[in-house]
């Protein structure tokens, strides 16, 4: 076949898709969120632990999906728990995706008005962003994955360069003592650390689009390993360079880190600018991914065509974006997304798997 009519993605695309879905707002606020909850410099341990837990969850999700080749969670949830509850779960997921998408854009708007476009109404930032997203999502999962594949290498490069340059501020003493206040703070930090992995649910739909489902486990584990590594790096460097005290007091500690040094003799003295650029692009990917998942869900649950759904979702996401009244609301929303996300990507696949296994056993027994 020369002209592909099916919209499938390769396993490398799937891995990048997952990475880009996870790598978003978290990069800027994660160090503060985690550290605020823990009040010790052990945030990196939390990230590691959370990451390890995520690997298990990802494995669970992929295994679940592989029982239903070529089907997304919106399609097979009904088969597991019955038609109506399945639809309800699907709608819950969709709602969650919309809220997360709105949250991401809102964060973007807040950061942009703060650093780049002071005095610009956030609607003027949000609307074109959503429109660009509509254009991309209309192209289908393949186009989305392609754009992700362009953006991700640039992002990783800039991130690594920024951290590499900030090495001179790095002081290992800021990360000490390890486990100074015992193990308890780490558990306290876990729930905030989980927020950054919100979006993991895309695996439940992504696996259906794989060209070679056999490689699903490898692709998804690869896809989650990259953000775990990058988040770990972020936390280590931000806390290591800025110390716990200043991280807790700053709104966007990662940007503060990048702003805190100058590279003289270069066209751009501070890396804040390239950092903002890649972060914006990353947010775009992030948002498009959730946007696509939500519209895919609606079209599959209600059996309607994808295209009109995408157009109709644009205002829904816009309203979701505008719901928080202040930055404080945004952060509160972020925290609650973390909690909901925990349920969504931990409980949901677990329950679905359990029920599926019981049912399968049951039918086997009858037969």
Residues contributing to the site for other proteins (CB under 8 A): 1-4, 9-10, 12-13, 112, 116-117, 120, 123-125, 127-132, 134-136, 138-139, 142-147, 149-151, 266-270, 272-273, 276-277, 280-281, 284, 311-312, 314-316, 318-319, 322-323, 325
Contact (CB, 8 A) for 38 and 247: no
Nearer to other proteins, 173 or 326 (CB): 326
- Indicate the residue among 3 and 173 with the shorter CB distance to other proteins: 3
Question: Residue 9: helix, strand or coil by DSSP?
Answer: strand
Instruction: For the CB of residue 41, give the shortest distance to other proteins in the complex, in Å.
Output: 31
Instruction: For the CB of residue 336, give the shortest distance to other proteins in the complex, in Å.
Output: 13
Q: What are the distances in angstroms from CA 23 to CA 102, 159, 182, 228, 328?
A: 16, 12, 29, 9, 22
Q: Residues in the chain, how many? A: 367
Task: Give the chain's count of helices (H) and strands (E).
Answer: 15, 0
Instruction: CB nearer to other proteins: give 13 or 192.
Output: 13
Question: Based on CB atoms, which residue is closest to other proteins, 161 or 312?
Answer: 312
DSSP element (H, E) containing 192: helix 184-195
Look at residue 323 and give its three-state secondary structure: coil
CB of 151 to other proteins, least distance (A): 7
In the complex, minimum distance from the CB of residue 310 to other proteins, in angstroms, rounded to a whole number: 8
Give the nearest distance from C-beta 326 to other proteins in angstroms.
11
User: DSSP readout, 166-189?
Assistant: GGGG--GGGGPSTTTT-SHHHHHH
Nearer CB in complex with other proteins: 52/150: 150
- CA dist., res. 321 & res. 85, Å (int): 28
Q: Residue 152 Cβ, how far from other proteins at the closest point, in Å? A: 10
Smaller CB separation from other proteins, 115 or 356: 115
Q: How many CA atoms lie within 13 A of 178 on its CB side?
A: 5
Q: Which is nearer to other proteins, 237 or 291 (CB)?
A: 291
Which of 276/352 has CB closer to other proteins? 276
Only one residue has tokens 């490398």, namely: 12
DSSP 32-50: HHHHHHH-SSTHHHHHHHH
In the three-class reduction of DSSP (H, G, I as helix; E, B as strand; rest coil), residue 191 is classed as helix
In 260-326, where does DSSP find H-type helix?
Answer: 272-301, 306-322
Least distance from other proteins to the Cβ atom of residue 2, Å: 4
Q: How far is the CB of 329 from other proteins (least distance, A)?
A: 8
Distance from C-alpha of 244 to C-alpha of 241, rounded to nearest angstrom: 9
Torsion angles phi and psi, residue 210, rounded to 5: -70, 135
């Amino acid at each position: 076949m020369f002209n592909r009519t099916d919209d499938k993605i390769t396993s490398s695309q799937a891995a990048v898709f997952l990475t880009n879905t996870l790598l978003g707002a978290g990069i800027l606020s994660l160090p503060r969120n985690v550290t605020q909850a823990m009040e010790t410099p052990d945030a990196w341990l939390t990230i590691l632990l959370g990451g390890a837990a995520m690997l298990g969850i990802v494995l669970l999700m992929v295994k679940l999906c592989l029982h239903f080749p070529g089907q997304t969670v919106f399609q097979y949830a009904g088969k597991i728990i019955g038609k109506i509850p399945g639809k309800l779960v699907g709608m819950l997921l969709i709602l969650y995706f919309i809220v997360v998408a709105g949250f991401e854009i809102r964060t973007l708007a807040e950061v942009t008005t703060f650093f780049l476009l002071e005095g610009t109404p956030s609607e003027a930032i949000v609307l074109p962003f959503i429109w660009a997203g509509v254009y991309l999502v209309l192209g289908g999962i393949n186009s989305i994955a392609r754009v992700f594949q362009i953006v991700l290498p640039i992002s990783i490069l800039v991130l690594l360069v920024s951290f590499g340059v900030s090495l001179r501020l790095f002081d290992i003493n800021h990360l000490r003592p390890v486990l100074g206040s015992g193990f308890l703070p780490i558990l306290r930090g876990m729930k905030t650390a989980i927020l950054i992995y919100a979006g993991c649910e895309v695996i439940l739909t992504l696996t259906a689009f794989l060209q070679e489902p056999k490689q699903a486990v490898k692709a998804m584990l690869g896809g989650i390993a990259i953000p775990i590594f990058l988040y770990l790096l972020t936390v280590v460097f931000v806390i290591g360079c800025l110390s716990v005290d200043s991280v807790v007091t700053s709104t966007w500690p990662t940007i503060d880190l990048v702003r805190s040094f100058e590279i003289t003799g270069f066209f751009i003295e501070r890396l804040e600018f390239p950092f903002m650029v890649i972060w914006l692009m990353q947010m775009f990917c992030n948002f498009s991914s959730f946007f696509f998942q939500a519209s895919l869900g609606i079209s599959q649950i209600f059996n309607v065509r994808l295209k009109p759904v995408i157009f109709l979702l644009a205002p829904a996401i816009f309203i979701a974006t505008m719901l928080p009244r202040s930055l404080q609301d945004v952060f509160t929303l972020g925290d609650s997304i973390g909690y909901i996300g925990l349920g969504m990507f931990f409980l949901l696949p677990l329950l679905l798997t359990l029920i599926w296994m019981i049912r399968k056993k049951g039918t086997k027994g009858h037969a």
